[in-house]
Structure formats: C-alpha cells, structure tokens
Structure 1
Amino acid sequence: MFKALIVEKDDDGKTSASVQEISEDRLPEGEVTVAVDYSTVNYKDGLCIGPGGGLVRNYPHVPGIDFAGTVEASDDERYKAGDKVVLTGWRVGEAHWGGYAQKARVKADWLVPLPGGLDARQAMAVGTAGFTAMLAVQALEDHGLAPGQGEVLVTGAAGGVGSVATAILAALGYEVAAVTGRPETEGYLKELGAARIVPREELAETSKRPLEAETWAGCVDAVGGAMLARLLGQMKYGASVSAVGLAGGAALPATVIPFLLRGVNLLGIDSVMQPYENRVRAWDRLAEVLPMDKLEGMIQPAVLSDLPGLGKDILKGQVKGRVVVDVNA
C-alpha cells in the first residue's frame, strides 16, 4: 500500500481530491515502476486537481505532470533498480497517472536519467517549468542570441517558467529585464538576477503601431495575448521570442510586419513531446548552469495534503516560484 492524491468525479460532474492509501495493483501499465521522491505544482496540475480542464480522461485519477525518484523495478534494459530518474511531459498526470503518489508506473521511453549535479528535490525545483525555461533559452541561443547584445525580456517573470528563465539567463551573463504585475515580487526577481523590473502595464496594451523602437535582444514569453503582440514590435532586428505560455490569452492580435521588416522569429516551445535527445541536452545544461543557491530561493515546500489548496492557488496566479512536493512527508 502507498499514499496518493486521488481525484474523483461524482455523478453530478463535481470533482474532489483527497489523500488515500491504494495498492500497487492499481497502478497503470508500464515498463518501469518508480519510487517517487518529489513532484511539483504546475498550471496543468491545478486544472487536473480541480475541474480537469479537459485534460483528464478517466476518473479516479492521480495528477502530477512531473516527478523525480528512484527506479524500483524495470522490464526495460535501459533502467535498473536504484537508478535515479526524472519525468516531465508525455501527458503523464493528465491522460496517465502521475507523480502525486509514492509510486508511479510509466513507459521507459518517458524517463530521463537524473543528471549528475542534481538530486531529486532540486530536479523538481526545476520541474516542467524549469525544463521549459531551458528549452526556451536554448532555442534563443540556437537562433543567434549571445550575451552583450542587449536586454533579454522575460514576461510572467515571477511564475515558475519565468523564475527559472530569469535565473538561467542571468547566470549565463545576459542582462535580464523581468516583467511582472506584482510589485511585491521585485526583490525576489532581483535576487534571481534581474537587472531591471518592467511593470506589466507598460506592455499590457496592443500598440496601434506595428513597429516600435528596437529594444529587446531576445524574449522568453509566458504570457501570450496582447503582450506578445506588443513586444514583437519592440524586438531588435533578427531577434527571437520563445513562446512558452498563454497566461494572457491564446489570441495574438498582431501583424506580420515585425517578421517581414525586422526578421523577428517567433519560436514555439513545447515541453510535452520533446524527443529524448533534446530532453537530455536540456537537463544536462540545467545541471551545469542553474545556480543552486538561486534555485533554493525559489522553493516553496509542500506535502500531498497541501495539493488541493495549491491547485486552486496556481489557477488564480497566486503561486510564486517553484512548489516542491515531498510525497513521502
């Protein structure tokens, strides 16, 4: 028997979440059984803990879109008992039972070896949000971004992706301008390495002009919507934007002028279906460049029984930094 956060749906379609003890024979099919050490809380987790957001296929369900732990049993030669592993994406925690439990069973293809230099707790301080942030930074660099070219903008900077992106960029020598609508997070963002704080209202409205002054050498955008449209017209010639989220909406009220006249690149970043090689590259780079003291400063500790409340909080935009869930506490 082991503990898990079980989300159930009643005949009226209402969901409820509670910590329960369940048996291992209830775990889904998969080649590798993992003793989970830590998980974390993402926006998708908030949806899956609560109303489902169209992500959960079947109930009862165990959310948790990422986890880190130790292989307990494996039918795949790539993994053996005792191996440290991390999982993000692949619709685990949505269509497949996830990491809000002391045990998980998944396909071997979904796992990545935990890189040297990171333990399981640190890996979940990184989590899907940090993994996405690293993919976004690597995409910008693959398209020519380098330190010394000017300010790099991070929108939604106090959130999970934005926090890690700010810390990564600062550690790599970039001058980071962090956008936030929460003045109380300014000190936190400067501790992560932000050189300048940009109030959200400065970018919140769509400009009537398709091009404004060339300001940003690159951007990691977690907001989308009108803000993304606005900043596209402020990018320097040939600069790129990594789009990682849509907290401000899915619509993009923009023109093609920045692409045609300034050669701006809009790079879509998906963390769910990334190939294995890209995952290993991102995790190895995270272990290499992410300052662990900054990572520690982002962490909000939690246990399984905290998750129903945290799920609601993250949907309201009230979670700062990275929640690390000790599933065994």
Structure 2
Amino acid sequence: MTSDKDNTYSALVAEESDGTFIQKIQQRALSDLPDNDVLIKVHYSSLNYKDALSASGNKSVTKNYPFTPGVDASGVVEESRDDRFTKGDEVIVTSYDLGMNTPGGFGQFISVPGDWIVPLPSGLSLKESMMIGTSGLTAAIGVEKIVKQAVGTADGELVVTGATGAVGSFAVGLLSQLGFRVTAATGKMDQKDFLKKLGAEKIIHRNDITDVASKPLLASRWIAALDTVGGDMLDAVIRQTAHNGVVTCCGNVLGHELHTNVFPFILRGISLMGIDSGIALMSDRLRVWNLLAKQWKPEFMEGIYREISLLQLPAEIQKILNGQQVGKILVSLPD
C-alpha cells in the first residue's frame, strides 16, 4: 500500500558497515513497506531494549537488514483496506512483529495488519500513549495480575526489580499511585531521587536481594513482586516472598533460565505469573489500555520520560545497550 501524497519518508535505518551495525536517518520509499491493510502516519514512538537489540544487529530479533526498528507507534491512519479503520483515525500499535521483521515506529510511516491496531482510547493523546508504550503496557499487565490475585494495599510491601528501567520505573510509579508500599531494587543507587519522585517508599541495592543464603526458603520480605530482570534475581525474589504472595515476571537481562525449588510454591502458596505484552490477546490489550486511559491514567509521567528526535536515537540506543537507560525515552517523529 502506498500513499498518493508522499513517495518517501524519513526513518532511522540500522545496517551493517565494515562488520559493525550503525544507525542513520535515511529517506525510504513508501513502496518498500509491506503490503498490509493499514498505512499509518507515525507521530510518536518510544525506545525499548528490543529496539536496541534490533538496531545493533541481533539476528534473534531481526533477521534481515537494512531495517527500521521500533516496536511502538502511535499515529493517524493514512489509508485502510480494513473496514474497522478509516483515514484520520488515531491509533496505537505495539509489538506483534512491528520493529522486529516488519519496519517499525522509528519511521514516519508503518504498514500493518488491522489485527495489530488498538484504537486510541478516549482520555489519552497520541503523545501520552507513547509515554506509556510497550514498557508501560507490560508493567500495567503485571500490576493487573497482582491486583487480580487479591493483593491489597494494606497487605505488605511490594518489590520492583530493575526499578530504574522503562518497565520497572513505570511499575514503581503505577503501584505507588494505586496506594501500594513499593520497595524499588536497583543497581543505580545514584537514582534514589528519581525513584522517590515516582513514589518508592524504600530503595535498596539489587545485591540486597541476591546476596542471600541458598536456602530453599528465606524470611518473608514482601507480599508481591514485579521482576523485570530474571535469572538469579527472580529466584531470590521468589524465595523471599510471603505466604500467598504473587510474583510477576517479564525480563531476562540476568538470564533466561530459572533455577529455583518447589518449596515457595507448595509451602507458601506463592503464585508465579508471566507477563507477555508481545503477543497479548487483543481483548487484554484493549482492557489494559482503557485502564491506563481512565482509572489508572499515570500521574507520574512528567518525571519518567525524556523526549528526543530521530537524530538523537543512535546515542540513546547505545545507552540502553550499556545499561545506562533511566526511565522512558519518547521519540517524536517529524511531520
């Protein structure tokens, strides 16, 4: 599908040069986009860890290059062969294959199947939706799982690991906004003020969780957890969760394997629940996006995001690869 109005558009393109992957702003032809049902003019995107992997040549994320990453996009429908959408509709697209093997939100246009599209909920602007983005949606799905397990604000502390990252910081802010007592675990202790502004009651070093005895069960420290890093951290969190507690998890920065034991589950009744926003059911997406537009609309976003242009993206991609990202990066696309 191509547009009659424009033949080319600006996009950040990752490509290999002398054995190294670089990112440049290039002009791309609309005719090169996949022939999907809906063409969208992108207004905003956001930077996620998966985008940084795609931009740096990780073949487990993106198979063919040159390529435009960006798993998030919000914008306006330009053309549609799908009866559910008409020109001018404001929409959100996150994950599925966007920015992985389908050219993503770091370009002014995307072409996607209608089944990937969420109509922008009333109560959110296009900019606000990408201030939330995949990371906020992921965090909110995890928070909803905790709430649905009947964990109440008076039941005890909650811990969020990787608390300064995009998912973790949003989780700290949202849980605090909902009235929970949040302990934020991070390796960036110089970001205490940032986490306190989000509402964290306590800030602890991540080693305070993992540098513990190897016993099958440890003293109970929290009633629920949202873990964003996986590996040994997730095991340690599970072993320190209280009776009938719930642990939600979504990351694997510390490893994709989980070495733990059954005692937290059979002696304390702990629930371990995965968070997947990548191929989440559309019914779940619509429900959580509507929560974020209304009852759970974030009141803390001004302190969590920075707005950048396409030209500034390469430097931010390097930061996230180096583990230096704090909060959320909002990407504003040129008109």
Partners of 1:165 and 1:146 lie apart in 2 by: 16
Partners of 1:224 and 1:294 lie apart in 2 by: 26
Match of 1:179 among 176, 180, 185: 185
Match of 1:122 among 121, 124, 128: 128
- Structure 1 residue 240, shift from structure 2 partner: 0.8
- Structure 1 residue 292, shift from structure 2 partner: 4.4
| Equivalent position amino acid for 2:11 in 1 | A
Structure 1: runs of 5 or more not aligned: none
Compared CA separation, residues 139 and 292, structure 1 to 2 (3 A): closer
| Equivalent position amino acid for 2:14 in 1 | V
| Equivalent position amino acid for 1:218 in 2 | A
Match of 2:273 among 267, 277, 284: 267
* TM-score normalised by L of structure 2: 0.94
Partners of 2:123 and 2:30 lie apart in 1 by: 31
Partner of 2:15: 8
- Structure 1 residue 322, shift from structure 2 partner: 0.5
SS of aligned partner of 2:323: coil
Partners of 1:147 and 1:83 lie apart in 2 by: 38
Partner of 1:105: 111
| Equivalent position amino acid for 2:101 in 1 | A
| Equivalent position amino acid for 2:54 in 1 | C
What's the CA shift string for 1:199-239, capped at 9, x where partnerless? 21201235321111222111100011111111111111111
Q: Verify the 8 A CA contact 1:153 1:178 in the aligned structure 2.
A: yes
| Equivalent position amino acid for 2:273 in 1 | L
SS of aligned partner of 2:234: helix
Partners of 2:90 and 2:166 lie apart in 1 by: 24
Partner of 2:305: 299
SS of aligned partner of 1:134: helix
Q: Verify the 8 A CA contact 1:206 1:229 in the aligned structure 2.
A: no
- Paired positions, count: 328
- Structure 1 residue 37, shift from structure 2 partner: 0.4
Partners of 2:293 and 2:120 lie apart in 1 by: 9
Aligned CA-pair RMSD? 1.4
Task: Tell me which moved more, 138-147 or 285-294.
Answer: 285-294
**What does residue range 166-315 of structure 1 map to in structure 2 within 5 Å?**
166-205=172-211, 207-290=213-296, 292-315=298-321
Partners of 1:126 and 1:245 lie apart in 2 by: 18
Partners of 1:151 and 1:29 lie apart in 2 by: 49
- Structure 1 residue 286, shift from structure 2 partner: 1.1
Q: Which has the higher contact order (CA 8 A, sep 6+)?
A: 1
Structure 2: runs of 5 or more not aligned: 1-7
SS of aligned partner of 1:112: strand
What's the CA shift string for 1:157-184, capped at 9, x where partnerless? 1110011111111111111111111111
Partners of 2:325 and 2:20 lie apart in 1 by: 24
* TM-score normalised by L of structure 1: 0.96
| Equivalent position amino acid for 1:211 in 2 | L
Runs of 4+ in structure 1 deviating by more than 3 angstroms, as ranges, are 289-293
Partner of 2:44: 38
